[in-house]
Amino acid sequence: MNGTERRRPTFRPRLRELTAAALLCLLLAGCTPKAETPQAVPGEEAAAPPETGPGLVLQEEREEFSAAPEAAQPAGEPAPAEEPEDGEEEPPAPQEEVPAPQAEEPPEPVPVPEDESWKLILVNAEHPIPEGYEFTLMELRNNHHVDERIYPELQRMFDDARAAGIYPFVNESYRTAGEQQAIMDEYIARYEAAGSDREEAERQAREIVALPGTSEHQLGLAVDLIAEFSADSWPTWQWLKDNCARYGFILRYPEGKAEITGIAYEPWHFRYVGAEAAAEIMERGLTLEEYAAEKTAEN
Ligand SMILES: [Zn+2]
């Protein structure tokens, strides 16, 4: 908010000066206000790297998604082209304007503080998914889905892993509440079949499976990753553990933290929290619960 207000005044005088300069330029004649808008060249977009390896996402969606940041590029300013003809009669004032056009920034993209609270949303047995929590799903290959906001970093992590000879594979991703319930039911049935009564079977299942509404998988921010071509996932998990923070992911259920997370060690479950939090959490060996508690205490 403050930043916004502070920044405005610097734009306004400049715009006024530019307008004055443009008017002057037109009056002096010889200035053809060429609309030199450096718009995105369609050809360049087409040259984007084709999906060569086993990408994470379906081709069309990937292109659509990667096109978005290009469109967000500000339209170029109709810069008063330097016309040498009328150079002599220019009073000193317009000359000052000459460097201004490059520096001119569109007044609109003043950084709007984005709500990033979704990155740190804490979901566990005590903190169910908030009512009305909304996000947009993106389809990956093999019918997997994640919150579209984590896709770019997830893809980057996969690309870098592959470059390092590690081939992660998305084994679990977004789940609906119904799917979460189905998993729970399956485990309950399994324990009942093994001799537990219903109540005991439910208790046992809850140690392994999150109740519907309390699973991070329902957020679309978590993925369970295994090795793609190998029965042994440990090298993959090790690489991911060592590197995930660089892409904003954390090992969500670390070893020896079950009393805090409520979930036993899961070397495969990675959760997106954003680069800043991920760096601190992984470096200090924290859980999201501990990190969130610290942040709450700070504020
Ligand atoms: Zn998981």
Is residue 292 domain-shared with residue 250, that is, in the same domain? yes
179 catalytic residue (yes or no): no
* Domain count across the chain: 2
Residue 85 domain-assigned (yes or no): no
Mean pLDDT of the chain: 75
Is residue 129 domain-shared with residue 151, that is, in the same domain? yes
Percent pLDDT > 90 in the chain is 56
- Write down the catalytic residue from 45, 266, 280, 283: 266
Centre of ligand 1 to C-alpha 261, Å, is 13
Centre of ligand 1 to C-alpha 65, Å, is 25
> Which amino acid is it at 95?
Q
Report pLDDT digits (tens) over 5-30.
333 333 333 444 444 444 433 333 33
> Which amino acid is it at 270?
F
| Kind plus residue range of the DSSP H or E element containing 146 | strand 145-147
What is the CATH classification number for the domain harbouring 146? Answer: 3.30.1380.10
| Over residues 286-298, mean pLDDT | 95
Report pLDDT digits (tens) over 251-285.
999 999 999 999 989 999 999 999 999 999 999 99
Is residue 186 domain-shared with residue 154, that is, in the same domain? no
Q: Residue 195: give the domain boundaries.
A: 176-214
The residues placing their C-beta within 5 Å of ligand 1, an ion, are: 224, 269
Is residue 144 domain-shared with residue 252, that is, in the same domain? yes
Residue 101 domain-assigned (yes or no): no
| Over residues 61-75, mean pLDDT | 35
Centre of ligand 1 to C-alpha 224, Å, is 5
- Asked if residues 278 and 250 have their Cβ atoms less than 8 Å apart, the reply is yes
Is residue 240 domain-shared with residue 201, that is, in the same domain? no
Report pLDDT digits (tens) over 92-144.
444 444 444 455 666 676 666 678 899 999 999 999 999 999 999 999 988 99
Centre of ligand 1 to C-alpha 171, Å, is 9
Residue 94 domain-assigned (yes or no): no
Mention every residue, 6+ apart, whose C-beta is less than 8 A from residue 178: 212
Q: Tell me how far apart the 2 most distant CA atoms of the chain are, in Å.
A: 98
The CA distance from 158 to 56, in Å, is 8
Instruction: Read off the tokens for 156.
Output: 């980057």
Is residue 127 domain-shared with residue 224, that is, in the same domain? yes
Is residue 166 domain-shared with residue 210, that is, in the same domain? no
- Asked if residues 224 and 170 have their Cβ atoms less than 8 Å apart, the reply is yes
Domain boundary among 163, 188, 214: 214
Centre of ligand 1 to C-alpha 7, Å, is 44
